[in-house]
Structure 1
Amino acid sequence: MLDTTAREMWELFEPVHDLVYFAPEARQAADGLGMRGYWMGYFALRAAPLGPVAPCVVTSSFSVFHPARVARALPDAWKYAAPADVLAAREEAMDAAMTRLFGAERTRSARFAEAADLAWEAAAAADTTGRVLAAANQALERPARATARLWQAVTTLREHRGDGHVAVLVSVGIGPLEAMVLKAAAGESDGPFLRETRRWEPADWTAAEDTLRERGFLAADGSLTRAGVAGRARVEQWTDRAAERPWRALGAERTGRLAGLLEPLARAVGESGLLPAGNPVGLPPAGAHAAVTAAGARESG
């Protein structure tokens, strides 16, 4: 039977990571650093672990953005704040966001600290060979505060999974735009939202659709063909396999425990209204994968 642990854990930690994109504290932190607009803040906050790299490095590692979108933010962002200052600001912002959203009593509890420590152990076990974003995040010092420790750990795990996903896409010849078209065709995200926020032209999107039709992945009406469904399923399965190592290292029992501790946090983010319509990260509806969560709930009850 296919092991779905890596995917189920992603569905639990992704919403917590996503606070850096959508929590008002993140935007306030970026504005406080002098960043000009949402996208400069986005790229600075996410790319800061890499150091003051050129926009081409960020375009490559983030994968889905048009180079012009990145070039409007970097390297100009580093004129307003050094990466080290951005890292400090995002840690403060995530502490504030998590304390507000989850409550001070919860974030100061022993259970929250346990979740942070388990997630940190899993993240430390991630193999970052060929995974630039994961390696840069994994190399950061262990924060003393449980909020910052948990957020940084799930961010390392998230970038580890994302790096692996990009590697799989490259290996099967699916480019950034084709990947987004497939995601939209599968009903996981809104196509126009993805295209516009990543700053691709309609002609680029149409060309990607044509490429996928030539491969037999996309039907004339824009839906996935049987080959498209199968091809995308293989990509997702290989992505899951590439993300298994942290959970094998943590072990089934403690992974289940972490799942049970993360589930109410993921639910709180989902119910907060912070995540935008259009589902840019492609998260499934809450409860779509419950096996690990259920096991963790039994362990943590």
Structure 2
Amino acid sequence: MDDLASARRIWAQLELYHGVTYFGREGRAVTDELGCKGGWMGYFGTRAAPLGAASPELVTAVFYNFHPARVARAVPDTWRIAAPERYLAARLDGVDRALRRILGDDVVAGDAVAEAAELAVAAAGLVPLAGRPLGAANAALPWSDQPHLALWQATTVVREARGDGHFAALSAALLDGCETLVVFASDHGVDADYMRQARGWSTEEWAAATDRLVDRGLLTEAGGLTDAGRELRAWVELRTDEAAVAPWTALGADRATRLGELLDPLLRDLVGDNRAVLDNPMLPDVATVFAER
């Protein structure tokens, strides 16, 4: 198989399946039931829970591009509301509710999901975990005996381990959290205010990050990527892909292709349930994912 392209495509599919964690309405409901004050507290609690009662500094470090103040408004108060174990249980409960509502009990209990889970769990077991704190923390969690949840858990291990590798590449590229968002927004044509507010950076901090990138020759004065900026962005993506390809190479082309085929109909239903996923710049481009299958 074309290892890097195929690995990137199947990661995009797994990312969309994992997305039910945050884009299914059940995810917000279960953290509200815990007593979380707002969506961000629930987000940080459920995503960081595999690390234990992590400090705001640790969460900021491993999530990479969130403003430290945004994290600190939620953590450690998050752990005063509920222990990490309760967030893990709530996260799984929300995913279970969402998948059963969207896909239906017959699909959830069907042979296709069971086969997809078997393949995804096998791939997740082949993910390199050295230097990947979120990937390793999720890999250490017990596996559900329900295939649709085991499939979700596998997607979580893969996406968080890939994210850890991506952050390592960004660090090696000497891009801090805010600079990373500025480059991403410029590269993808995303509204800068949307990106800035989504991660909690001020207009002054965004402007300062932009100035630093201009001084490095990565952005033009008008805010577009220079040739050097495009080269650095491509370098980061290539390093990310190379660091994430191992499980798919080990799994083999036929089994990886089969997993993609099994995921397709599930993803179409999941995306159809929440059309906002189509326009979310932080997720893989849905139309491209389906077109490449």
Q: 2:267 matched to which residue of 1?
A: 266
Question: Structure 1 residues 63-72 or 220-229, which shifts more?
Answer: 220-229
Do residues 219 (structure 1) and 217 (structure 2) align?
no
- Gaps of at least 5 residues in structure 1 are 294-301
Q: Work out the CA distance in 1 between the residues paired with 2:187 and 2:199.
A: 19
Aligned partner of 2:175 in structure 1 is 174
Q: Tell me if the contact between 2:13 and 2:289 (Cα under 8 Å) persists in the aligned partners.
A: no
**Residues 16, 267 of structure 2: 8 Å contact kept:** yes
Question: 1:178-233, CA deviations, whole angstroms, 9 ceiling, x for partnerless residues?
Answer: 11111111126432222102110011111111111112211122111222112111
For the structure 1 residues 212 and 165, does the alpha-carbon distance in structure 2 shift closer, same or farther, using more than 3 Å as the test? same
1:19 aligns with 2:15: no
Give the C-alpha shift of residue 85 in structure 1.
1.2
1:48 paired with 2:49, answer yes
Distance 1:84 1:274, change over 3 A: farther
Give the drift of 1:265: 2.3
What is the aligned partner in structure 1 of residue 256 from structure 2?
Answer: 255
Q: Which residue of 2 aligns with 1:99?
A: 100
Identify the residue that residue 299 of structure 1 maps to in structure 2: none
Alpha-carbon distance between aligned partners in 2 of 1:274 and 1:150, rounded to the nearest angstrom: 22
Kept in 2: contact 1:59–1:66 (CA 8 A): yes
Q: Would the aligned equivalents of 1:189 and 1:282 in 2 still touch at CA under 8 Å?
A: no
Cα distance in 1 between the residues matched to 2:10 and 2:19: 14
- How far is the alpha carbon of 1:92 from its aligned partner? 1.2
Q: What TM-score comes out, normalization by structure 2 length? A: 0.94
Conserved 8 A contact 1:188-1:282? no
Q: Is the partner of 1:286 in helix, strand or coil? A: helix
State how far apart, in whole Å, the 2-side matches of 1:72 and 1:3 are.
Answer: 38
> In the alignment, what sits opposite 2:141?
140
- Kindly indicate whether the alpha-carbon contact (under 8 Å) linking 1:190 and 1:279 is maintained by their aligned counterparts in 2: no
Higher percent of residues as helix = 2
Could you list the runs of 4 or more consecutive aligned residues of structure 1 that deviate by over 4 angstroms after TM superposition?
A: 288-291
Q: CA deviation at 1:289?
A: 7.2
TM-score scaled by structure 1? 0.92
Whole-angstrom CA distance in 1 between matches of 2:279 and 2:221: 23
Q: Distance in 2 between matches of 1:189 and 1:105?
A: 39
Amino acid paired to 1:102 = L
Q: Unpaired segments of 5 or more residues in structure 2?
A: none
**1:103: Cα distance to partner?**
2.0
Partner Cα distance (1:280, 1:87) in 2: 27
**Cα deviation digits, residues 249-275 of structure 1 (max 9, x gap):** 211110000011112222333332354
Residues 271, 277 of structure 2: 8 Å contact kept: no
1:7 paired residue number:
8
Indicate the percent of aligned positions where both proteins have the same amino acid. Answer: 43
Does structure 1 retain, via aligned residues, the 8 Å contact 2:23–2:274?
no
Q: Which residue is equivalent to 2:118?
A: 117
CA contact (8 A) 1:43 1:70 kept: yes
Q: CA deviation at 1:278?
A: 5.8
Q: Kindly indicate whether the alpha-carbon contact (under 8 Å) linking 2:64 and 2:177 is maintained by their aligned counterparts in 1.
A: yes
- Aligned CA RMSD, in angstroms, stands at 1.7
* 1:136-285 equivalent positions in 2, closer than 5 A: 136-187=137-188, 189-273=190-274, 275=276, 279-285=280-286
Instruction: Give the residue type in structure 1 aligned to 2:211.
Output: D
Quick one: structure 1 residues 100 and 146, their matched pair in 2 at CA, closer, same or farther if it must change by over 3 Å? same
Q: What do residues 60-108 of structure 1 show as CA deviations (whole Å, max 9, x unaligned)? A: 0000111111111111111111111111111111011011112222111
Q: In structure 1, what residue type is equivalent to 2:187?
A: A
Counterparts of 2:74 and 2:161 in 1: how far apart (Å)? 24
Cα deviation digits, residues 25-74 of structure 1 (max 9, x gap): 00010011111110000000101100011111100000011111111111
